[in-house]
């Protein structure tokens, strides 16, 4: 028995129950019968429309700014999804119409073009570094200026969002905990990442004033997005679907602005962390502008289905390499980059070890047909691998001509998939199932670093002294005399020697130091010289050499050591 799993486009069979269902009058967006995938999409669209209505009501009922931010975010996500689903339905309808005009029977033989298998794409551990300037610190001294940010991720017609994070100047980067998984990606996928931000405090000009009493969504989306929504709704209006009722927000709610975006493709996939450039789209005048460093760090992995699911299985006779007449009967399972040969079909399911495994990778060569030494043995194929100096060939005999053809087809498909998915087929990349995200709770004020730090006077003075010593390169022979005023203990342990090539004596931190002090405010911008580390693009706005105020100027000449 040979079976093959290859995802093909499902069509509605004539006379099937599904077709009957459609004939009974559940026509929606098209005059032709909808493939089941379209009903799935329609269902999702209806769901998003309902969610959107809920979000609008919630937004109208919000009294607190933070609740309004969450509700506006939900609204934004719903709108984006509605737009994308509608666009997709439109595209499919068009494709159907075009397909029907040049009709050919659905199973007239092998597909003219080979299409690569689908895969799962997961992006996680997203981190966007920030770069606060000194001026920011000295500016809003009393109040902590806060922003609400989240990421919108789109692959094909699927849109997902991360949780919303409150950012203030005490954060060094924006870190999202979410794992975002897309299940129907092709190797040509484009994962678009958009960072949206809004001020947590009311934008001064709009506070309280019912300024933009638009009857459309533009007031909570931003003008260009609102235009897009209206345009797409108008084009889809004639399709007979129920018109989407647009709400009238009472007061201009919080406005999210697009701060940055980027698009990731297969080339960015790696089983590890990588840094990618962000295209920054807002500038300093925009109230929601954040000092983004200009890159995003994340882990983007992809699991093509050909690696995780068996693509073919069946009975084979394998000629043991080197022994001409010895053919072992096995149950072969082609999965990922291996052909596993089990003693019995059941072994594959029970987790028994296979009798042996034949590697199938980019360098493997497969030949079908009669071989010289296998004369008289029909329906064979041979698989050759190179291991260092040696070439090892396995000859496999299939049950029939049809089975041989199917095995060859499965192998060609696998080679095609490997050529398309490239590095994803070297090894299976792990994807952790994203934990179900808790619904956004009432936001407690996120503790900032300043709340956590127990700053003692001794810490401060000593730390400042130390920084000065290192930066200025002077050697402190004795601790400053005034230090004795703050401590009963004898003076500081041996201060650090100035920066030198010889291994600096490690700064020992006995108890007087307590918890080390944060240096985030003192961090200099990263060195942008050509020798600097990988894939950091030069910033669109190069920060000018900053006056360090109290501390020394210029690029860092320190090599700090901190105990942990």
Partner 1 sequence: MLLQGHQLRDGCVQPGQQRVEIHKLRQGENLILGFSIGGGIDQDPSQNPFSEDKTDKGIYVTRVSEGGPAEIAGLQIGDKIMQVNGWDMTMVTHDQARKRLTKRSEEVVRLLVTRQSLQKAVQQSMLS
How far, in Å, CA of 537 to CA of 547, rounded? 24
Please report the sign of the dihedral spanned by the C-alpha atoms of residue 403, residue 408, residue 411, residue 413: negative
Report the residue from 212, 536, 539, 552 that binds partner 1 according to the rule CB under 8 A. 536
Q: Please say which residue, 92 or 517, places its beta carbon nearer to partner 1.
A: 517
Least Å distance, CB 160 to partner 1, is: 21
Q: Is 444 in the site for partner 1 (CB under 8 A)?
A: no
Q: Is 168 in the site for partner 1 (CB under 8 A)?
A: no
- Give strand pairing partners of 489: none
Stretch that binds partner 1, among 49-57, 87-95, 104-112, 523-531 (CB under 8 A): 523-531
- Give strand pairing partners of 340: 333, 357
Least Å distance, CB 297 to partner 1, is: 6
From the CA atom positions of the chain, what is the Rg in Å? Answer: 32
Stretch that binds partner 1, among 13-21, 197-205, 481-489, 529-537 (CB under 8 A): 529-537
Q: Please say which residue, 209 or 511, places its beta carbon nearer to partner 1.
A: 511
Q: Is 365 in the site for partner 1 (CB under 8 A)?
A: no
Report the residue from 90, 96, 115, 357 that binds partner 1 according to the rule CB under 8 A. 357
How far, in Å, CA of 46 to CA of 28, rounded? 11
How many chain residues bind partner 1 (CB under 8 A)?
60
Q: In what helix (H) or strand (E) does residue 418 lie, and over which residues does it extend?
A: helix 401-421
Q: Is 173 in the site for partner 1 (CB under 8 A)?
A: yes
Cα atoms in the 13 Å half-sphere on the side-chain side of 333: 21
Q: Please say which residue, 78 or 492, places its beta carbon nearer to partner 1.
A: 492
Report the residue from 250, 392, 464, 550 that binds partner 1 according to the rule CB under 8 A. 392
Stretch that binds partner 1, among 12-20, 37-45, 184-192, 351-359 (CB under 8 A): 351-359
Contact yes or no for 191/155 (Cβ under 8 A)? yes
Q: Is 351 in the site for partner 1 (CB under 8 A)?
A: no
How far, in Å, CA of 149 to CA of 519, rounded? 24
Q: Is 528 in the site for partner 1 (CB under 8 A)?
A: no
Least Å distance, CB 476 to partner 1, is: 19
Report the residue from 25, 482, 506, 540 that binds partner 1 according to the rule CB under 8 A. 506
Q: Name which of residues 246 to 305 contact partner 1 (CB under 8 A).
A: 271-273, 275, 297
Q: Is 61 in the site for partner 1 (CB under 8 A)?
A: no
Least Å distance, CB 189 to partner 1, is: 21
Residues 67-74: contacts with CB within 8 Å, 24+ apart? 67/442, 68/253, 68/254, 69/148, 69/164, 69/198, 69/200, 69/254, 70/164, 70/440, 70/443, 71/253, 72/198, 72/220, 72/253, 72/254, 72/256, 73/148, 73/150, 73/161, 73/164, 73/196, 73/256
Report the residue from 101, 325, 533, 544 that binds partner 1 according to the rule CB under 8 A. 533
* HEC readout, 245-272: CCCCCCCCCCCCEEEEEEEECHHHCCCC
Q: Name which of residues 21 to 50 contact partner 1 (CB under 8 A).
A: none
Q: Is 500 in the site for partner 1 (CB under 8 A)?
A: yes
Q: Is 557 in the site for partner 1 (CB under 8 A)?
A: yes
Mark out the alpha helices in 9-64 (DSSP H runs). 17-23, 36-61
CA-based angle 494:499:503, to the nearest 5? 75
Report the residue from 1, 17, 485, 564 that binds partner 1 according to the rule CB under 8 A. 564
Q: Residue 338 — φ and ψ, nearest 5°?
A: -140, 150
Q: Please say which residue, 206 or 560, places its beta carbon nearer to partner 1.
A: 560
Residue 192 is given by DSSP the state: E
Q: Please say which residue, 69 or 425, places its beta carbon nearer to partner 1.
A: 425
Q: Please say which residue, 481 or 531, places its beta carbon nearer to partner 1.
A: 531
Report the residue from 172, 315, 465, 487 that binds partner 1 according to the rule CB under 8 A. 172
Least Å distance, CB 301 to partner 1, is: 10
Which two three-digit tokens encode residue 475? Answer: 């050697």
Q: In 3D, which of 504, 507, 482, 513 has the Cα closest to residue 494?
A: 507
Stretch that binds partner 1, among 215-223, 242-250, 370-378, 555-563 (CB under 8 A): 555-563
| Residue whose token pair is 């987790």 | 351
Q: Name which of residues 449 to 468 contact partner 1 (CB under 8 A).
A: 452, 454
Q: Please say which residue, 312 or 424, places its beta carbon nearer to partner 1.
A: 424
- Which positions ≥6 away from 156 have C-beta within 8 Å? 88, 182, 184, 185, 189
Give the three-class secondary structure for 229: helix
Interface residues with partner 1 (CB under 8 A) are 125, 127, 172-173, 271-273, 275, 297, 320-321, 337-338, 356-359, 361, 385, 392, 394, 427-430, 452, 454, 499-504, 506-507, 514-516, 518-520, 523-527, 531-533, 536, 555-564
């Amino acid at each position: 028995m040979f079976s093959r799993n290859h995802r093909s486009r499902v069509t509605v069979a004539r006379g099937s129950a599904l077709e009957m269902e459609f004939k009974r009058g559940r026509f929606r967006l098209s005059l032709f019968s909808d493939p089941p995938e379209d009903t799935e999409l329609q269902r999702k669209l209806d769901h998003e429309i309902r969610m959107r209505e809920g979000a609008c009501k919630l937004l109208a009922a919000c009294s607190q700014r933070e609740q309004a931010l969450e509700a506006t975010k939900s609204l934004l996500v719903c709108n984006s999804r509605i737009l994308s689903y509608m666009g997709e339905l439109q595209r499919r309808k068009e494709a159907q119409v075009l397909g029907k005009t040049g009709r050919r029977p659905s199973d007239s033989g092998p597909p003219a073009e080979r299409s690569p298998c689908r895969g799962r794409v997961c992006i996680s551990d997203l981190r966007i570094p920030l770069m606060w300037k000194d001026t920011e610190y000295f500016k809003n001294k009393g109040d902590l200026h806060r922003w609400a940010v989240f990421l919108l991720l789109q692959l094909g017609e699927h849109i997902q969002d991360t949780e919303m994070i409150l950012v203030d100047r005490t954060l060094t980067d924006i870190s999202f905990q979410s794992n975002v998984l897309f299940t129907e990606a092709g190797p040509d996928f484009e994962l678009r990442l958009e960072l949206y931000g809004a001020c947590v405090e009311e934008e001064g000009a709009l506070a309280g004033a019912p300024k933009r009493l638009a009857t459309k969504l533009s007031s909570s989306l931003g003008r260009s997005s609102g235009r897009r929504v209206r345009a797409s709704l108008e084009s889809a209006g004639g399709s007979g679907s129920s018109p989407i009722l647009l709400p009238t927000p009472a007061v201009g709610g919080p406005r999210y602005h697009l701060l940055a975006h980027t698009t990731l493709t297969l080339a960015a996939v790696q089983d590890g962390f990588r840094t990618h450039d962000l295209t920054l789209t807002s500038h300093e005048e925009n109230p929601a502008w954040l000092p983004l460093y200009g890159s995003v760090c994340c882990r983007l992995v992809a699991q093509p289905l050909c690696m995780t699911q068996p693509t073919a299985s069946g009975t084979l006779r394998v000629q043991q390499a080197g022994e001409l007449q010895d053919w072992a009967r096995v149950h072969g399972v082609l999965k990922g980059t291996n052909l596993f040969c089990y003693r019995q079909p059941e072994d594959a399911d029970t987790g028994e070890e296979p009798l042996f495994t034949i590697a199938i990778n980019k360098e493997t060569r497969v030949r079908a047909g009669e071989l010289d030494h296998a004369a008289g043995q029909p329906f064979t194929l041979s698989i050759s691998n190179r291991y260092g100096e040696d070439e090892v060939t396995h000859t496999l005999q299939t049950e029939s001509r049809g089975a041989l053809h199917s095995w060859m087809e499965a192998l060609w498909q696998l080679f095609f998939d490997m050529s398309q998915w490239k590095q994803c087929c070297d090894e299976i990349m792990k994807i952790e199932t994203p934990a179900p995200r808790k619904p956004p709770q009432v936001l407690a004020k996120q503790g900032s670093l300043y709340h956590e730090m127990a700053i003692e006077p001794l810490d401060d003075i000593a730390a400042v002294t130390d920084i000065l010593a290192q930066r200025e390169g002077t050697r402190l022979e004795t601790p400053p005399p005034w230090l004795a005023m703050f401590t009963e203990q004898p003076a500081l342990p041996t201060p650090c020697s100035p920066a030198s090539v010889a291994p600096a004596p490690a700064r020992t931190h006995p108890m007087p130091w307590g918890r080390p002090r944060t240096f985030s405010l003192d961090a200099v911008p990263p060195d942008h010289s050509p020798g600097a580390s990988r894939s950091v693009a030069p910033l669109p706005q190069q920060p000018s050499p900053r006056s360090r105020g109290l501390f020394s100027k210029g690029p860092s000449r320190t090599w700090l050591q901190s105990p942990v």
